[in-house]
Structure 1
């Protein structure tokens, strides 16, 4: 006696089909799934071959669903929703939640505040993934990320402003005591300009000293903002950094703000998470805590 569902395509292929049918775009579907565009196209070709029917029309500017594909996508979406809901009810919610941030954001802003989170939300096992590359939510097991830029981000992602970007120039108080304050563009030439990967110096210098976009004849470059900040604390020169990243060092006397001006940028730090997020309850707790910390940081800055 035959059992099971011998004619059922693989669940992975059906999941890929549902995402492609929703976006009608292989590239956007690949971004949501965290795989390559070629892998998505291969899954769709294999599904159409196994069903022996065309699900999509290849149009000059994208994809279109055939009549059969449109009807099938509605049924597949309902079926996957039922499976997802049944699985969520069956499996208890994990206590672990992963946050992806850059190394500088981790060391200069998030890590000093984690003690407060551990005390206020002991039921959540927070995992921190610090990396310069953009993490993929599914393949890297990331639940929420802090990303620098401007929305919209990739399709299938929610985004909410966490922290605006205000750039200040900072240096060691000992350095300014030894060399004097750079009150003029000529005086600034006596300092080493410490750069990170963003290179805000031309824009900042043009703002402070009009028509002078070059900060200094002497420059030192770092691939991470946190390294440039540490070099400034060590008295090696003047660096530019997000005020939120150096606020604690300024308060502790390790750094001083060299100029009163702040460079305000269009790009900012955003909380980004999948629209179909798991661990909704824990995710909400972490989001609200991060936003509360950002507000407290701003109010004391």
Structure 2
């Protein structure tokens, strides 16, 4: 039976190419040439006696047999990764990928709660706005602002709505009492981030004065320092509003169409540590049912 198994390099090339649907992208991930990936896939197809891909003018598509085989190969590699991690003493290590704002405003303040609830967990946080490749980046769980439908290879669990509000420091507002009308808002310094919410709030294009930041968390730090009005998800400012550090000036009045979700790979059952962090994240960050 061992002699009938395909070479491991061929299976690795097929798994990467089937996930990326591109020999070029698979070659970049594996650190080999595109021709080497294509050759390994052809060897595997010859070994099995069937076509695993349909070669298209742009990219690849899995054949029916290829799609079924790929799902099983992904599961097999997940089992190998989990077994290797456990043997290497990493059974308690869990890697979570979150945006920098989510890390700063929600995850970091909650870490003492995680340590108390799951003392054996070694949580490693990857803070990035980039879309993580869960396999390539060895990520167990991701939290992202996104929307359905989700790829079949991903499991998604809803956390909370993207409920945008306007906030400012009481030191900036002075004697002004919330809620403020649009003219009063427009007269205050505005804090901008990569989402460019103010263009949509005013309902017309055009650059408006105010400091510009590449991350929401930086705009909120500026708001806390009394430097202007920011627009952010209510989940990120709820604690500051409750403590009086920020004043809720009212809803932004529009829906971005994207909400926050927990994400992970489908396939083999997750490691116990990863499952425990998944459950803890939902308990810690999910909005209560309305």
Q: TM-score, normalised by structure 2?
A: 0.78
Q: Matched residue pairs, number? A: 281
The aligned residue for residue 254 of structure 1 is 245
Residue 199 of structure 2 is aligned to residue 184 of structure 1: no
Change (3 A) 1:261 1:178: same
Deviation at 1:141, TM superposition (A): 1.8
Give distance in 2, aligned partners of 1:87 and 1:9: 19
Contact 2:13–2:40 (CA under 8 A) maintained in structure 1: no
Residue 141 of structure 2 is aligned to residue 144 of structure 1: yes
Equivalent residue of 1:237, what SS?
A: coil
The aligned residue for residue 121 of structure 2 is 124
Deviation at 1:232, TM superposition (A): 0.7
Give distance in 1, aligned partners of 2:172 and 2:74: 62
The aligned residue for residue 220 of structure 1 is 211
Equivalent residue of 1:282, what SS?
A: helix
Q: TM-score, normalised by structure 1?
A: 0.75
Give distance in 2, aligned partners of 1:255 and 1:160: 30
Instruction: Tell which deviates more after alignment, 240-249 or 48-57.
Output: 48-57
Pairwise CA RMSD: 4.1
The aligned residue for residue 236 of structure 1 is 227
Give distance in 1, aligned partners of 2:275 and 2:24: 25
Equivalent residue of 2:191, what SS?
A: strand
Instruction: Tell which deviates more after alignment, 107-116 or 91-100.
Output: 91-100
Change (3 A) 1:185 1:281: same
Deviation at 1:216, TM superposition (A): 8.3
Of structures 1 and 2, the larger Rg is shown by 1
The aligned residue for residue 209 of structure 1 is none
Change (3 A) 1:253 1:269: same
Residue 191 of structure 2 is aligned to residue 194 of structure 1: yes
Contact 2:79–2:268 (CA under 8 A) maintained in structure 1: no
The aligned residue for residue 14 of structure 1 is 11
Give distance in 1, aligned partners of 2:37 and 2:189: 54
The aligned residue for residue 168 of structure 2 is 171
